[in-house]
Amino acid sequence: MHDAHATPPDLPETTLPPGRRGAAGAAYTWLKREILSGRMRPGQTLSENEIASQMGVSRTPVREAIIRLESEGLLNVRPQVGTVVAPIDLDQVADGQFLREAIECRSARLAAGRVRPADARELKSLLRDQARAVARNDQAGFIALDDRMHQHIVAMAGRPNVWRAVEDVKAQLDRVRVLSLEDPSWLAAVLAQHEAIVRHVLEGDGNAASKAMEAHLRTVFSSIDAIADERPEYFRGDPVASRSGTPPEPPPPKPARRNP
């Protein structure tokens, strides 16, 4: 009974088709991308019916996607009222920053003691590619390479799947990030920080690697206050929201009845 012989090689214990499992998975992926890309803005209302008809499915899979995104903190569902893209909570962003620092600094420290030749090659290769992306002013490409480098350092620490947890908190941070217009000089500065991190890791200096990682993460974080001051309408619990600047969308106060 309960034989274990059926498991060895072929039984894929994945059980988690990463993002896409049917219509619900498609809805989840699509909605998440809309939110993280900034196309759906913080505070914007959603309609299950609208999204469902727009995607050509029923409410059920859309609801499933919404439930998952709510548990990730990207949506706020108010029963019997409506669903909105979660306004950015500065306190929550700070929590995410804290978590990233805790995880990635520790990873960098451990990675410094476990450098294998393949790791050194990979990190150097990533730095080269990043330099090329900076030279071409390719922001999207640079960001992708940035993520891969951070992920590889976590993997070097021996816990590759921890990156999933980082991705969850990173989502909140990235939502702020896309609000800032990242200029080329910023890219170059980030590249220099990456080079410092890799240097310390390859030298086996865990303490310095951790410190460099902390400084790096905080550089990105430091720009948030400026953004919150510039776009208060996207943030929650912001006492400075009194200034009557540009509203989220020009004049969409047409949500009244549609059949007069």
Using CB under 8 A, list all residues that contact a copy of itself. Answer: 1-2, 4, 13, 15-16, 21-22, 63-64, 67-68, 71-72, 76-79, 91-92, 94-95, 98-99, 101-103, 105-107, 157-159, 161-162, 165, 169, 233, 236-237, 241-242, 247-248, 251, 253
Q: Does 2 bind DNA (CB under 7 A)?
A: no
**DSSP sequence for 113-146:** T---HHHHHHHHHHHHHHHHHHHHT-HHHHHHHH
What, of DNA, a copy of itself, none, does residue 115 touch, CB below 5 to 8 Å by kind? Answer: none
Q: Give the integer Cα–Cα distance in Å for 130 and 212.
A: 18
Of 74, 186, 162, the C-alpha closest to 111 is: 162
Q: Does 116 bind DNA (CB under 7 A)?
A: no
Backbone angles phi, psi at 235, to 5 degrees: -110, 160
What, of DNA, a copy of itself, none, does residue 260 touch, CB below 5 to 8 Å by kind? Answer: DNA
Could you tell me if 165 and 103 are in contact, meaning their C-beta atoms sit under 8 angstroms apart? yes
Contact segment (CB under 7 A) with DNA among 80-88, 133-141, 179-187, 211-219 equals 80-88
Site size for DNA (CB under 7 A): 29
Whether the CA torsion 33, 35, 36, 37 is positive or negative: it is positive
Q: Does 89 bind DNA (CB under 7 A)?
A: no
What, of DNA, a copy of itself, none, does residue 237 touch, CB below 5 to 8 Å by kind? Answer: a copy of itself
Q: Which of residues 35-64 bind DNA (CB under 7 A)?
A: 46-50, 56-61, 63-64
| Closest CB 125 distance from a copy of itself, rounded Å | 26
> What tokens does 82 get?
């409506």
Question: Computed over its alpha carbons, how large is the radius of gyration of the chain?
Answer: 21
Could you tell me if 208 and 200 are in contact, meaning their C-beta atoms sit under 8 angstroms apart? yes
> What tokens does 44 get?
């914007």
Q: Give the integer Cα–Cα distance in Å for 2 and 214.
A: 48
Contact segment (CB under 7 A) with DNA among 79-87, 166-174, 193-201, 236-244 equals 79-87
Q: Applying CB under 7 A, which residues contact DNA?
A: 21-24, 46-50, 56-61, 63-64, 77-83, 256-260
